[in-house]
Structure 1
Amino acid sequence: MLDATIRTGAALEIEALSVAYPSRGGWLQALDGVSLSIAAGSVRGLVGESGSGKSTVVLALLGLLGPAARVTAERLAFDGHDLFANASALRGRRIGVVFQDTAAALNPALTIGSQVIEPMRVHLGTEHRAAWQRGTDLLAEMGIPRPAQVMRSYPHQLSGGMKQRVGIAAALASEPDLLLLDEPTTALDVTIEAQILALLDELRSRRNLAMLLVSHNLGIVDRLCDTVSVLYAGRLVESGTTGEVLHRPRHPYTKGLLAALPRPDRPHAGRLAPIQGNLPDLTAPDPGCNFRPRCAFAVAGCYRPQLLSGDRHQVSCHRVDAVADLPWPAEPVPPTAAPVASAVPLVEARELSIRFDSGGWLQRLLGKVGGVLAVDRVSVTIRNGEVLGLVGESGCGKSTLGRLLLRLLPARGGTLRFASAVVGARPDAHFRQRAQVVFQNSDTSLNPRQTVGMILGRAVRWFAIASIDAEVSAEVDRLLDLVRLPRSYAQRYPHQLSGGEKQRVGIARALASRPKFLVCDEAVSALDVSVQAAVLNLLRDLRDELSVAYLFISHDIGVIAHIADRVAVMYQGTIVEEGAVGDVLQPPYHPYTELLLSSVPLIGKRRTVAASTQAARAVPMAGGCKFADRCTRRVGPICDSVPPPVQQAAPGHGIRCHIPLPELAAVPHWLSQ
C-alpha cells in the first residue's frame, strides 16, 4: 500500500497564468490570465471546446511547453514550491500525469512492468526487486486481474481499459500529491469509463490526492469533480462548485455547452442547440468579451473588458444578472417534412456471420484454426428513412456488422437484401452507389493533397452523377449546400477546416452518389459537444430531406437516444436486445443493456453501476449466454449451457435472455439506480 498521509491546504495555486506561442500571424494568446486553485483531496474539472487552452494549462504546470512559448504568471506554485523554478524536480515525483491516449504514451517495445517501475527507480531510487513487487501491488490496487502476469506483458496484449489503469498506476508509482488527468476516459467504453471514475474517486478519498481533470465530457466532470472551471479561448468564463456551475449555469457559454449535450434520459427531446461560429482569432485577442460574436445574449456593452467576479460562483459576463435564468435559445427547425418510414425493408440481413481466423499457415494446414466469431448469426432490418442505432462495447462487432451490411467484408454465412434484391458477395455498382459510409476520423479519411472540390468532384465523377466540368462543379455546390458549408469551401484543403467542417465534408462525399443508406461509424465521437450537436442536427435534417436510412454506430448512448428510431444492443457478436429507443431505455431490459445504461455519467445524477464491469472473455463460453460470466442476475447452469431465447417484451422489442420478462421488468429504472 502506498503512502496515504492526509495533507491539507491548497495543493496547487495558479494566478494570472498567460501563455503565448509565436505564429506566422504574431503571438497566439493560448491562455490569458487564468487563475484557479486545488486543495489537497479535491478534484477540479477544467472544461471547454478543443482549442480553448485546457491541455496548455496541464503542459504549463509540467514545464513542458518548450522554449518558444512565452509563459507568465503572478503565482504558479505547488505546495509552496515555485513551478517556474522547480517543475522538472516535481514532475513525475510529486506531480503525476495521465494522458488521453495511453496506447500512445506506453512504449510498445517495453514490458508493462518496466514502465510502471521506472518512476520509482528514477524518482525514489527504489531497488529493482522492491520496485517490481511494488509495481505488482499497484496493478492489483488498480483492479487489474493477474497483476504478476500483466507486469511481464506488453501494451498490445492489454485492452484499452487495462492500458488506462496501467497509465494511472505509473502516474501513482512515485506517490505524487497532485494528479493531472488530460481526457483520461475519452477513448474508453462507458463501462470501462465507469470503472476508471470509481477508481479515481476511491484513490482521491483514500490517498487525499488533489486532481485536475481536463475533459469535454460534462457528465464525468459532474461525477468526479468538486469544483469546475469553464475555459473559453484561453480565458476563464465561469468557475465554482460543480453543482452551481453545471446545474445552474450563469455564463452564456456554459449554458450553450449544456444545451448542446444529447442526453439518454431525454430521448428525442427535440433539436439540439449548438453554439454557432468558431473560436476567435487568438493572435488578436478581444479586449472585451471574446465570446461576444457567438453569444445569443450579446449587446453593445459587451465590448468592455470583463473579469471573473463573485464569491463561490464566479462569472465573467456583463449581463450575468439579466441572463442568469434564461435558457440557451433553441436552433430553429428547418421547414422540412417529417420523415415517413416505409413499411418495406430497405436493408434486410438474415443470419450474418463472420469469423476472423488466427494462426499461421501450418495451423491452418493442420486444421487447428482459432479465431474470433466477430458477428454471430445477426439479423437486422432497416427501413427507408429510418435510423437504427447500434451500441455496445469496443470489440463487440459493431463496425464489423456495418461493413458486412456494405459488403466490404465477405460474410461466412447469411443473406443480405437491399431494396428486396439479393446482394451477392461481390455487389454491383448500383449497390455501391446506393449504400455508403461516413467514417469516424475525417482527418485520415480525407486526402490532404486535394481540395474539398476535388474530393467531392471525384466521387461525383466516379458514380457518373456528372462528367462535364461545369456539371461537376454545380453538383459540388449542391453537396456543400446540403451539409451547410459555404460554396467557397470547395477551394479549401482539409487542414484549413475545423473538425466539424471536415466531418461535414465526409458526409457530403458519402452523399455524392445520392445513396439511400448510410453507415455512420462513430461519426461524431471525436467532436466537441457543440460541433457534435450541429452534425447531429445536420444528419437528422438530411434524413428528413432525402429519406436516407442510417445504421448509426456509437458507444455514446446519449447520441443514440437522440438520433435513432430503434436501437440494437450488441455483445460479443450477438444482438442481445433490439427495439424502439423508448422501449430499450426502460425496463424490461437485458442485463447488459442495464449495465450500459447505469454506467452512463449523467449531470445531476449519482448512480451505482448495476452489474459487473469485469472485462468480457476473449472467447465467449460455448453454447450458453455470452454475457453469463459478467451477469449478476444469472438464473443458474442454464445460462452456461443453453442459448437464451428471444422474448418479446413489446411489439418489436426483443430481449435475448433466460430471465423471465416479469423479473426483467421488476428491476428499477436506470435513472433511479
Structure 2
Amino acid sequence: MTALLEIDDLAIAYGTTRGPMHAVEGFSARLERGRTLGIVGESGSGKSTVALALMGLLPAGARVTAGSVRLEGEELTTMAPEQRRLTRGRRIGMVFQDPFLSLNPGLTVGAQVSEPLTVHRGLDAASAMAEAARLLDSVGIGRAAEVAASYPHQLSGGMRQRAMIATALACDPELLVLDEPTTALDVTIEAQILDLLLGLQKDRGVAMVFISHNLGVIQRVAHEVVVLYAGRVIEQGSADAILSAPQHPYTAGLLGSLPTLDHRGHRLTPIPGGLPDPFQPMQGCNFAPRCRYREEACVAERQVMRPLAPDQLVRCRRAPLEDPAPAAPEPARARWAAADGAGPVVEIREVSKTFSRGGWAAGLFGRASAPGMRALDGVSLRIGPGEIVGLVGESGSGKSTLGRCVIRLVQPDAGEIAVQGRDVLRASGGALRRTLLATQMIFQNPSSSLNPRHTVAQAIGRPVRLSGWKETPVAARVAQLLELVRLPAAYADRYPHQLSGGERQRVGIARALATRPSVLLCDEAVSALDVSVQASIVNLLADLRDELGVAILFISHDLSVVAHLADRVAVLYRGRLVEEGPTEDILRAPNHPYTEALLSAAPLLRTGARIRLRGEIDTGAPIPGCCFTGRCHRRIDERCDTVPPPLRHAATDHGILCHIPVEELAAR
C-alpha cells in the first residue's frame, strides 16, 4: 500500500559565511492516511526545518541537498514553484507554534480564514466569509460570525490557535503539519486543542505530522514517533514502543527529564551538555559526548539505523540497552532550615485589583467604558523563608498580576503586602528601594528580558553596583554569581545571542540574585524551555533554595512542574484562591474541581480518563456565586451560581473554596 507521505534520506543544509550548516541528515519516514507521525527532539534538532521542507517554505539560503519527499507518489522537492504553491494550499495545511505571530494583525480573522477559499477553491467573497464562519464553528469557536469580524488581538490564545487550524483545514487537506501548536497554551486549552485535532482526524481521515519537544503531548496524539537529535534520526517506531521502552540513551534522557509525581522530592535528571557544532558533522554518533554508555567505537564508527523489533529502529551500537532508563534520580539535598519562630518573608493580605476596560480610548471614540476586569479578588498568601510556593492557574487567572503587585509594578486597589515585615505598598524612598532590592523577578522569556547589546558581565554587574556591593570587585562578584548558577566564568564576555535558551535563563537568575534577595518571583520561568533544559533550571532553583534559604513564588500554569518543585501549592481562578495546601495533600487528593482538572491536564506520560474543561476563563463581570461555576464538572445546582462558596478545610493548612463538603470531594 502506497503511503500518503514518503520521506527518504532527506538532507537539508543552510548556507552561511562559515560554510554549509547541516541541519538535517538522512531523515526517512512514512505516513499513512488517518495516522499521526510525531517528531520530537530538543530545540536545534531540526524538527521545524523538516516541517518547512514539507511545506516548501525553507528560507533563503536553505536547500534540500539530498533525498526525496513524495505526496502520494508525487515528488515535492523538484516540483515547479507555482504547482508547489497550489499543492501547499489544497493538499497540505500547516499550523505554526505562535498564532499571534502567524495571524495578520491588520486583517479580521474571517478574512484570513477565507483567503485560501477564494485563492484555491474560487469562492466569491460572500460565500468565502460564510464558509469561514462555518469552519470557525467546526473547530469549537462559539459566536463564529462575531469572531470572524474580530481582529486577532481581540481573541484569546486558544481561540487564535483554533482560527489557525480552521485556516489550515479550509481546503480540506489530506495532510496537516503542526509545528509545536500547543507549546504557548495553558495545559487545559492544550488538552482542548489536542481533542479537537483527534476529532478532526477521526472525522476527516486527515494525516498529521505533529512536531513537539513534549513527549507527554506526543503520547496523546501520535501513532509513530521519530526522535531527532542534531539533525539525525536516532530512534523511530510505534509510539507505544518508543515511549514505554526507549532503546536510545537520548530518548531515555528526554523521558527522564519529565517531572513525575513518583519522584517528587528527588532531583530531575537532565541530559548533560548541549548539541554538537552543526558546522562540524561527526563521523560517529553525534550524541556520544553526552552519552553515559559511550565507547571509543561510538565516536569512530558511523552508526546506522537498525531494527530491534518489528515496530522499532534505533541508531545505537549498544542497543538493546540493558538499562535504557536514565540514571536514577538523585535524592533532594538537605533543606535550608529557617530559624525557630521565623515569620513569613512575604505576607499578602486581602489584595484586590480591578483593571478598567476601554479607558481613555473608549472616551475618545465616544463609547462608554466597559465594566472593569477584576484580576484579583481578596487574595491572601504567605511565603516562609526557604519555602517554594507554587501559584498555578490558567492565563487570565491573575497569577502574574499578583506577582507584579509584590514588586509594585502593579498597584493593588485594596489589601496589604509585606516583605520581611516592611510594608511594600506604602513604602517610599530608601525604604522602598531596600524592599525592592530584596524582591527580584525572573521572567518567562530571557531573550526578551536581557539587553541584546549588553554582555553577561554588564547584565549582572549593573544590579551588583546598584545594590551597593563593596565586598569584592564587581567582576569577581559576577564570577561568583555565574558559578552559583553553574555557568563558567568565561561566559561573562558573551552576549545573549551566543547562549542557549537554558544558559540565558541562568543568566537571568544570576542577575536576579545579584542584589542578594530574600524573595524570588518566577513568572513562568521554565515554560518556554525544552524538557531537558527545564529540568536543569528546576534543579537549580531547588539548589538555590537549599543553599541560600531564598523564598520563591513559582508562578506557572503547569501543575506537574509545580508539583515537583513546590512545598505548597496555591490555585488561583478568576482572581480567587480556590485551593491552597501542602503539595503532598494537593497531589494525593486535589479536592477543588478546578485543581482536579488542572492536574488531569498536566502533560505527564500516563493513561486513564482525563477531565476536559469547557471553554476558557471568562474575565467579564464578577459572578455572585462560585467563580468556577460556569466550567465546573461537579456543579451542584443554582447555589453554585448565586451563593459565595464557604472556605472548607481538609486539614489545618489545606483550604478549599467550594460548596461540596470536604468528605464528598475526597470520595469523588
User: Normalising by structure 2, what TM-score?
Assistant: 0.95
The whole-number CA distance in structure 1 between the counterparts of 2:609 and 2:654 is 26
| Residue pair 1:363, 1:369 contacting (<8 A) in 2 also | no
Shift of 1:301: 1.4
For residues 383-429 of structure 1, the C-alpha deviation after alignment (integer angstroms, 9 at most, x for no partner) is: 00000001100011100000112222211111112223333334522
2:326 counterpart residue number: 328
The whole-number CA distance in structure 2 between the counterparts of 1:125 and 1:269 is 60
The whole-number CA distance in structure 1 between the counterparts of 2:25 and 2:572 is 46
Q: Return the match for 1:24 from 10, 17, 26.
A: 17
Q: 1:111 to 1:98 in 2, by over 3 A?
A: same
The whole-number CA distance in structure 2 between the counterparts of 1:46 and 1:60 is 14
Matched, 1:413 2:417: no
2:642 counterpart residue number: 641
For residues 185-235 of structure 1, the C-alpha deviation after alignment (integer angstroms, 9 at most, x for no partner) is: 011111111111011111111111110000011111000100100000000
| Counterpart amino acid of residue 451 in structure 1 | T
| Residue pair 2:39, 2:228 contacting (<8 A) in 1 also | yes
| Residue pair 1:249, 1:324 contacting (<8 A) in 2 also | no
| Counterpart amino acid of residue 92 in structure 2 | I
2:529 counterpart residue number: 527
Matched, 1:227 2:231: no
The whole-number CA distance in structure 2 between the counterparts of 1:642 and 1:434 is 41
2:248 counterpart residue number: 251
Q: Return the match for 1:273 from 251, 269, 273.
A: 269
| Residue pair 1:21, 1:30 contacting (<8 A) in 2 also | yes
Matched, 1:154 2:142: no
Matches within 5 A, 1:290-309: 290-303=286-299, 304-309=301-306
Q: Return the match for 2:507 from 501, 505, 508.
A: 505
Instruction: Give secondary structure in 2 for the equivalent of 1:377.
Output: strand
Q: Return the match for 1:193 from 190, 195, 212.
A: 190
> Which is further off, 363-372 or 511-520?
363-372
Shift of 1:36: 0.6
Matches within 5 A, 1:559-570: 559-570=561-572
1:15 counterpart residue number: 8
| Residue pair 2:346, 2:420 contacting (<8 A) in 1 also | yes
The whole-number CA distance in structure 1 between the counterparts of 2:327 and 2:568 is 28
Q: Return the match for 1:61 from 21, 43, 54.
A: 54
Matched, 1:448 2:484: no
Matched, 1:473 2:472: no
The whole-number CA distance in structure 1 between the counterparts of 2:5 and 2:265 is 41
| Residue pair 2:188, 2:613 contacting (<8 A) in 1 also | no
Matches within 5 A, 1:310-349: 310=307, 311-321=310-320, 323-330=321-328, 337-341=334-338, 344-349=343-348
Shift of 1:128: 2.7
Shift of 1:471: 1.3
Matches within 5 A, 1:24-43: 24-43=17-36
1:4 counterpart residue number: none
| Residue pair 2:13, 2:63 contacting (<8 A) in 1 also | yes
The whole-number CA distance in structure 2 between the counterparts of 1:286 and 1:368 is 63
| Residue pair 1:460, 1:466 contacting (<8 A) in 2 also | no
The whole-number CA distance in structure 1 between the counterparts of 2:325 and 2:198 is 32
1:429 counterpart residue number: 433
2:70 counterpart residue number: 77
The whole-number CA distance in structure 2 between the counterparts of 1:175 and 1:384 is 57
| Residue pair 1:11, 1:38 contacting (<8 A) in 2 also | yes
Matched-pair identity in %: 51
Shift of 1:366: 12
Unmatched 5+ residue regions in structure 2? none
Shift of 1:620: 4.4
Instruction: Give secondary structure in 1 for the equivalent of 2:356.
Output: strand
1:670 counterpart residue number: none
For residues 571-599 of structure 1, the C-alpha deviation after alignment (integer angstroms, 9 at most, x for no partner) is: 01111000111111233511111121222
The whole-number CA distance in structure 2 between the counterparts of 1:478 and 1:541 is 15
1:388 counterpart residue number: 389
1:592 counterpart residue number: 594
Matches within 5 A, 1:74-153: 74-86=67-79, 87-153=84-150
Instruction: Give secondary structure in 1 for the equivalent of 2:379.
Output: strand
The whole-number CA distance in structure 1 between the counterparts of 2:369 and 2:158 is 31
Shift of 1:283: 0.8
| Counterpart amino acid of residue 482 in structure 1 | L
Shift of 1:555: 1.1
Instruction: Give secondary structure in 2 for the equivalent of 1:91.
Output: helix
| Residue pair 2:411, 2:425 contacting (<8 A) in 1 also | no
| Counterpart amino acid of residue 478 in structure 1 | Q
Shift of 1:328: 1.4
Shift of 1:165: 0.6
Instruction: Give secondary structure in 2 for the equivalent of 1:200.
Output: helix
1:624 counterpart residue number: 625
RMSD between superposed Cα atoms in Å: 1.9
For residues 94-115 of structure 1, the C-alpha deviation after alignment (integer angstroms, 9 at most, x for no partner) is: 0000000111111111111111
1:603 counterpart residue number: 605
Matched, 1:174 2:171: yes
Instruction: Give secondary structure in 1 for the equivalent of 2:85.
Output: helix
| Counterpart amino acid of residue 313 in structure 2 | Q
For residues 537-556 of structure 1, the C-alpha deviation after alignment (integer angstroms, 9 at most, x for no partner) is: 11111110000000000111
Q: 1:432 to 1:35 in 2, by over 3 A?
A: same
| Residue pair 1:274, 1:331 contacting (<8 A) in 2 also | no
1:459 counterpart residue number: 463
| Counterpart amino acid of residue 192 in structure 1 | I
Q: 1:60 to 1:359 in 2, by over 3 A?
A: closer
| Residue pair 1:620, 1:626 contacting (<8 A) in 2 also | no
Shift of 1:529: 0.7
The whole-number CA distance in structure 2 between the counterparts of 1:564 and 1:24 is 47
Matched, 1:207 2:194: no
The whole-number CA distance in structure 2 between the counterparts of 1:330 and 1:475 is 35
The whole-number CA distance in structure 1 between the counterparts of 2:369 and 2:244 is 58
Unmatched 5+ residue regions in structure 1? 1-7, 668-673
The whole-number CA distance in structure 2 between the counterparts of 1:502 and 1:25 is 24
| Residue pair 1:98, 1:168 contacting (<8 A) in 2 also | yes
| Counterpart amino acid of residue 508 in structure 2 | G
| Counterpart amino acid of residue 588 in structure 2 | Q
| Residue pair 1:15, 1:73 contacting (<8 A) in 2 also | no
Shift of 1:125: 1.2
The whole-number CA distance in structure 1 between the counterparts of 2:573 and 2:315 is 46
The whole-number CA distance in structure 1 between the counterparts of 2:177 and 2:368 is 51
Shift of 1:330: 4.2
Q: 1:522 to 1:396 in 2, by over 3 A?
A: same
| Residue pair 1:251, 1:324 contacting (<8 A) in 2 also | no
User: Normalising by structure 1, what TM-score?
Assistant: 0.94
| Residue pair 1:272, 1:330 contacting (<8 A) in 2 also | no
1:484 counterpart residue number: 486
Q: Return the match for 1:581 from 574, 580, 583.
A: 583
| Residue pair 1:500, 1:532 contacting (<8 A) in 2 also | yes
Shift of 1:636: 1.8
Matches within 5 A, 1:360-379: 360-361=359-360, 370-379=371-380
